[in-house]
Amino acid sequence: MSTPSLLILAGDGIGPEVMTEVRKIIDWFGAKRDLAFDVSEDLVGGAAYDVHGVPLADETMAKAQEVDAVLLGAVGGPKYDDLDFSVKPERGLLRLRKEMDLYSNLRPAQCFDALADFSSLKKDVVAGLDIMIVRELTSGIYFGEPRGISVNASGEREGVNTQRYTESEIARVARSAFELAKRRGNKVCSMEKANVMESGILWREIVQKVHDEEYPDVELSHMYADAGGMQLCRWPKQFDVIVTDNLFGDLLSDVAAMLTGSLGMLPSASLGAPMENGRPKALYEPVHGSAPDIAGQGKANPIACILSFAMALRYSFDQGAEADRLEKAVEKVLADGLRTADLMGPEGGSPVSTSAMGDAIVAALDASL
């Protein structure tokens, strides 16, 4: 098989500096594990806007469609707040998701033992937590038509967005959740608002149908999304896989992220249909944003982005054992007490820099050989 290709889109804010650390990890796998990648880089978000006047150039979009996997840092920043909506940095990311048809967004929330004290919840509520949120990523209110701001009949402006889901859109993300559950705790909880939304009624019906016809051995439950948010804070360990729509998934995954102590820890994978070589269309990115307030200061935590590369090893490149190796290396540096600024408790301490964290993870990888 030819060398697998990776397109790196570091983006804005802390994106480039965390990606520098990921490059060290990628290089390590090439040098020490005979796992070389053909890496190219390009622009997304505000960085692309500055050069091309759009948050994702057509050539970059075309490249993303061709590579085996895309690794993205973060997009957005105050500098771009006043731009027209159509060229805001976030539109670049949304275009990638939509045109690559990355319908299944995997957002694991795992609490590392060494960080159980950092959660805003009690330690016993989060210690050992390991849940997976599967968020639908290419439809729903993020993309539904009609949308826009217009003047209505009484001369008042109104903003409109549309929540819309087809049966097949629901069924494919449900399948993806059931498949994951089979390899984990065998439990899926589906979340919607079937009590107030027709799209939620259809969501519940189709998830149940896919379950009954194709995955009867997986345990399935349904929950209203608001109650789901509450249960995530009350007793998150009741969940294994949660499947939900685009908007609820956006909210619930931030909630779940915070259970683990810091947004700086959480990776994600966005997967689509298999390509000709059998690999799924894929984009990997940290759940955190561009954090403009700390950008360029060496304060950012590179772990979420590094763990996103671990997900790429697992889901795109069939290198589960090497993904485990990388995750264990991260666990080791945390157990050794290394902390970036986001992981400082109220009592403070001396944080390590972004690059020191990357170097320590490389050293832990070396030690794993």
Q: Which partner from the list Mg ion, ligand IPM, none does 90 bind, CB cut-off 5 to 8 Å by kind?
A: ligand IPM
Residue 16: how many other CB atoms lie within 10 Å = 19
Contact between 9 and 44 under an 8 Å Cβ cutoff? The reply is yes
With CB under 6 A as the contact rule, which of the stretches 87-95, 125-133, 172-180, 334-342 interacts with ligand IPM?
A: 87-95
Q: Choose, from 12, 42, 165, 193, the residue flagged as catalytic.
A: 193
- Distance CA(315)–CA(295), nearest Å, equals 30
Chain centroid, CA 304 distance in Å: 9
Count the residues of the shown chain that bind ligand IPM, applying the rule CB under 6 A.
Answer: 4
- Distance CA(155)–CA(176), nearest Å, equals 45
The only residue of 17, 21, 240, 250 in contact with ligand IPM, by rule CB under 6 A: 250
The only residue of 6, 10, 56, 93 in contact with ligand IPM, by rule CB under 6 A: 93
Q: Cα–Cα distances in Å, from 313 out to 71, 177, 179?
A: 11, 19, 18
Q: Considering the complex, state which of residue 18 and residue 361 has its C-beta at the smaller distance from Mg ion.
A: 18
| Residue 103 falls in the annotated catalytic set | no
Residue 245 binding ligand IPM, by CB under 6 A: no
Rounded to a whole number of angstroms, the minimum distance from the CB of residue 211 to ligand IPM is 26
| Residue 165 falls in the annotated catalytic set | no
With CB under 6 A as the contact rule, which of the stretches 89-97, 192-200, 216-224, 274-282 interacts with ligand IPM?
A: 89-97
| Residue 124 falls in the annotated catalytic set | no
- Distance CA(311)–CA(328), nearest Å, equals 13
Residue 250 binding Mg ion, by CB under 5 A: yes
Alpha helices in the chain (DSSP H): 15-32, 46-52, 58-66, 89-99, 123-126, 167-182, 198-214, 225-234, 246-259, 303-315, 320-335, 354-367
Rounded to a whole number of angstroms, the minimum distance from the CB of residue 249 to Mg ion is 9
Q: Which residue has the tokens 């600024």?
A: 341
Helix (H, G, I), strand (E, B) or coil at 7: strand
- Distance CA(72)–CA(23), nearest Å, equals 12
Beta bridge partners of 270: 105, 283
Contact between 107 and 256 under an 8 Å Cβ cutoff? The reply is yes
> Does residue 358 have a known ligand-binding role?
no
Q: Considering the complex, state which of residue 88 and residue 204 has its C-beta at the smaller distance from ligand IPM.
A: 88
Residue 341 binding ligand IPM, by CB under 6 A: no
Q: Give the residue among 124, 133, 82, 77 at the shortest CA–CA distance from 105.
A: 133
Binding string, residues 36-75; x marks residues near ligand IPM by CB under 6 A: ----------------------------------------
Residue 99 binding ligand IPM, by CB under 6 A: no
Q: Choose, from 142, 165, 284, 315, the residue flagged as catalytic.
A: 142
Contact between 43 and 64 under an 8 Å Cβ cutoff? The reply is no
Q: Considering the complex, state which of residue 240 and residue 250 has its C-beta at the smaller distance from Mg ion.
A: 250
> Does residue 291 have a known ligand-binding role?
yes
| Residue 254 falls in the annotated catalytic set | yes
Q: Which partner from the list ligand IPM, Mg ion, none does 93 bind, CB cut-off 5 to 8 Å by kind?
A: ligand IPM
Q: Choose, from 27, 101, 130, 226, the residue flagged as catalytic.
A: 226
Residue 136 binding Mg ion, by CB under 5 A: no
> Does residue 217 have a known ligand-binding role?
no
- Distance CA(129)–CA(334), nearest Å, equals 16
Q: Choose, from 68, 245, 250, 342, the residue flagged as catalytic.
A: 250
Q: Give the residue among 210, 209, 214, 190 at the shortest CA–CA distance from 200.
A: 190
> Does residue 292 have a known ligand-binding role?
yes
> Does residue 366 have a known ligand-binding role?
no
Residue 90 binding ligand IPM, by CB under 6 A: yes
Beta bridge partners of 285: 268
Q: Considering the complex, state which of residue 13 and residue 280 has its C-beta at the smaller distance from ligand IPM.
A: 13
| Residue 187 falls in the annotated catalytic set | no
- Distance CA(314)–CA(345), nearest Å, equals 32
Q: Which parts are annotated binding residues for NAD(+)?
A: 77-90, 289-301
| Residues that bind ligand IPM in the complex, under the rule CB under 6 A | 90, 93-94, 250
Active site amino acids: 142, 193, 226, 250, 254
Query: Site residues (CB under 5 A) for Mg ion?
Result: 250
